[in-house]
């Protein structure tokens, strides 16, 4: 089976991890801050905090922004559930904004309309999670204008987008947001096995996220309620978690970061090839925003509704490991129990009925890509015959 996504591990990656195993620190050593420094410097952010997953990073980002009971978090329905769940972890309520049918990202026009209504009803969101689906950045400039106008905070869920650029600058520099989150799960662009990171330019947000990542415990005297009792002393001043990344993960991350630009360039090469090879097939290929350089975590094509499931099943039967990103979050049973219904977000639901993620990863060869096209072609011909 050709998978839809897969990590690339080189001997250099393996050596980096083994070196840590032979060192004094498996956790809380020098590799984690070095990894954070590497990513922060690369993307142009002041602070970077690594975590044991992007889900944890989203959670501490929401906590640092003060999200809590009585607040609203808004996001897109076309995302992984974690982009919405982070709001629920904090006791806030979650709502969704429908997608733009061309970019598949949260639609800034739909956002503007929803904000107008919410302002009248006195239920404006405190936090918006903007997800860069497939690695293509959201219209951050438009979102930023709305954030200023209505006073909400913005988290970029850039789990798909490390190495991508918006308006010529690396995603993660926080020009239009408060916090950016990356994921290092093995299917994503670079990996640390499990792992994530939260980046910000705000000193206070960074300080808070650092606390929430580590039990709410501090060793810094200026944050304590009184002078330290002695050199052993620490204080718990918040309710935090253990969301720390290990040294093994950080070492793998540092090693992978050396290939970030070439990973993303290769994904673009694969995407250009797909664009060409799919030209005469009855599918809609991804539209790329002109002022951005996608991380291209995913290559999603759209079919026409009724044959979707059949095409999907046959591709898998014939060894092409396609996937679907994503099932609209509001249609998940857990969210339906909160009152969301089928029909709430028509663009998202239409997208779901047509989308297929084709294989896209560093090690995908031209031959494998040709095979994907060949199988897809045969399956589509049969489906429309």
Ligand X SMILES: *Cc1c(COP(=O)(O)O)cnc(C)c1O
Positions in the binding site for ligand X (CB under 6 A): 53-55, 79-80, 82-83, 131, 157, 159-160, 183, 185, 196
Residues 289 and 372: their CA atoms lie apart, in Å, by 25
User: What's the min distance (Å) between Cβ of 375 and ligand X?
Assistant: 26
- CB closer to ligand X out of 134 and 270: 134
Task: Annotate 7-63 with DSSP letters as a single string.
Answer: ----HHHHHHHHHHHTSS-SBSSSHHHHHHHHHHHHHT-SEEEEES-HHHHHHHHHH
How many alpha carbons fall within 13 Å on the CB side of residue 294? 27
Least distance in angstroms from the C-beta of 97 to ligand X: 15
Rounded least distance, CB 58 to ligand X, Å: 7
Helix, coil or strand: residue 194: coil
CB of 211 to ligand X, least distance (A): 20
Smaller CB separation from ligand X, 94 or 375: 94
> How far apart are CB 67 and ligand X at their closest, in Å?
16
Helix, coil or strand: residue 377: helix
Closest approach of ligand X to the CB of residue 328, in Å: 13
φ/ψ bin of 292: left (φ > 0), alpha (ψ from -120 to 50), beta (otherwise): beta
103, 284 contact by CB (below 8 A)? no
Please, which residue, 47 or 132, has the CB nearer to ligand X?
132
Instruction: Output 92 or 380, the one with its CB closest to ligand X.
Output: 92
Residue 183 or 323: the one with the smaller Cβ distance to ligand X is: 183
- 266 to each of 20, 68, 327, 362, how far by Cα in Å? 29, 41, 27, 7
Nearer to ligand X, 197 or 301 (CB): 197
Q: Are 13 and 259 in contact (CB under 8 A)?
A: no
Please state, in angstroms and as integers, the Cα–Cα distance from residue 12 to each residue in 5, 6, 90, 134, 312, following that order: 21, 18, 40, 28, 37
Shortest CB 185 distance to ligand X, Å: 4
CA distance 267 to 273: 10
Euclidean distance between CA atoms 45 and 222, whole angstroms: 25
**Among residues 107 and 380, whose Cβ is nearest to ligand X?**
107
Residues contacting residue 332 through CB under 8 Å, at least 6 positions apart:
81
What are the b/e assignments for 180-218, b being 16+ CB within 10 Å? bbbbbbbbbbbbbbbbbbbbbbbeebbbbbbbbbbbbeb
- Residue 378: CB minimum distance to ligand X, A: 30
Closest to ligand X by CB, 189 vs 372, is 189
Question: DSSP letter at 320?
Answer: B
Minimum CB separation from ligand X for residue 57, in Å? Answer: 8
190 versus 254: smaller Cβ distance to ligand X: 190
């Amino acid at each position: 089976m050709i998978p839809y996504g897969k990590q690339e591990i080189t001997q250099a990656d393996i050596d980096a991890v083994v070196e840590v195993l032979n060192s004094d620190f498996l956790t809380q050593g020098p590799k984690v801050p070095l990894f954070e420094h590497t990513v922060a410097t690369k993307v142009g952010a002041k602070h970077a905090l690594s975590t044991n997953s992007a889900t944890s990073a989203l959670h501490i980002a929401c906590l640092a922004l003060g999200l809590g009971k009585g607040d609203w978090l808004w996001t897109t329905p076309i995302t992984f559930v974690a982009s919405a769940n982070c709001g629920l972890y904090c006791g806030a309520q979650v709502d969704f904004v429908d997608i733009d049918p061309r970019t598949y990202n949260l639609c800034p026009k739909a956002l503007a309309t929803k904000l107008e209504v919410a302002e009248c009803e006195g239920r404006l969101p405190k936090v918006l999670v903007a997800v860069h689906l497939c690695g293509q950045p959201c219209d951050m400039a438009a979102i930023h204008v709305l954030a200023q106008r209505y006073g909400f905070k913005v988290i970029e869920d850039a789990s798909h987008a490390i190495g991508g650029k918006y308006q010529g600058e690396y995603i993660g520099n926080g020009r239009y947001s408060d916090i950016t989150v990356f994921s290092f799960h093995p299917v994503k662009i670079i990996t640390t096995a499990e792992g994530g990171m939260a980046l910000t330019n705000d000193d206070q947000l960074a300080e808070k996220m650092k606390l929430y990542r580590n039990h709410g415990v501090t060793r810094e005297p200026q944050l304590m309620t009184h002078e330290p009792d002695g050199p052993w002393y620490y204080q718990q001043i918040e309710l935090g978690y253990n969301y720390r990344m290990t040294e093994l993960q950080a070492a793998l991350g540092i090693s992978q970061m050396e290939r970030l630009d070439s990973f993303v360039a290769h994904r673009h090469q694969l995407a250009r090839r797909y664009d060409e090879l799919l030209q005469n097939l009855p599918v809609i290929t991804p539209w790329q925003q002109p002022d951005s350089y996608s991380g291209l975590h995913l290559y999603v094509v759209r079919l026409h509704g009724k044959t979707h499931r059949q095409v999907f099943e046959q591709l898998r039967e014939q060894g092409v490991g396609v996937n679907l990103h994503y099932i609209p979050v509001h249609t998940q049973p857990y969210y339906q129990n909160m009152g969301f219904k089928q029909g709430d977000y028509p663009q998202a639901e239409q997208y779901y009925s047509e989308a297929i993620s084709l294989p896209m990863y560093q090690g995908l060869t031209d031959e494998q890509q040709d095979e994907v096209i060949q199988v897809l072609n045969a399956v589509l011909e049969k489906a429309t015959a």
